[in-house]
Amino acid sequence: MLRLAADVRRRMVDHCLAGLPEEACGLLGGTPDPADATVVYPTRNMAASARLYTVDPLEHLRADRDAEERGLELIGVFHSHTHTEAYPSPTDVAQAPDPGWHYVLVSLMHADPVVRSFRIVDGTIEEEEVEVC
């Protein structure tokens, strides 16, 4: 299960909406166990695409340092799907860098954004519950 602070969820969705028509992305900071995302780091999508995303590596570095200074760590990544469901694409699975991370998808295909979270381990997708608190 991934706990998302309500403010983190709101800022994540706002960043995704602001990124339209392209995909938007960012990183989540928090505690890994129990998985609790308390800080959101919206980042630039270097791919500048409606179908692909690449987190700006320099912003990733800065987020990593900031999380460490707060006594936290990066525990996941989020990105939007502008016209498809909030489910990992084959590209998401192939490029998932860390089996310990939480992969949060924000679908903007419906009027109300949908947020879901997944673990991706050795190419296998497993959905997890998201608790907004």
Partner 1 sequence: MPVEVRLPTVLRQHAGGLASVKANGETLEDVFGDLVRQFPGLAGQVVTEDGALHKFVNVYRNDDDVRYLDKLATQVSDGDVISILPAVAGG
Residues 102-131: x/- map of binding to partner 1 (CB under 8 A)?
------------------------------
Q: Which residue has the tokens 């590596």?
A: 57
- Of 17, 48, 70, 99, the residue at the interface with partner 1 (CB under 8 A) is 99
DSSP state of 45: B
Least Å distance, CB 96 to partner 1, is: 7
Q: Which stretch binds partner 1 (CB under 8 A): 7-15, 71-79, 109-117, 122-130?
A: 71-79
Residue whose C-alpha is closest to residue 75's, from 102, 112, 48, 52: 102
Can residue 132 be called a binding residue for partner 1 (CB under 8 A)?
Answer: no
Cα distance between residue 69 and residue 88, in whole Å: 31
| C-alpha 90 chain-centroid distance | 16
Cα distance between residue 121 and residue 133, in whole Å: 26
Can you give the binding site for partner 1, defined by CB under 8 A?
Answer: 23, 25, 27, 32, 47, 51-55, 57-58, 60-61, 64, 73-74, 77, 79, 88-92, 95-101
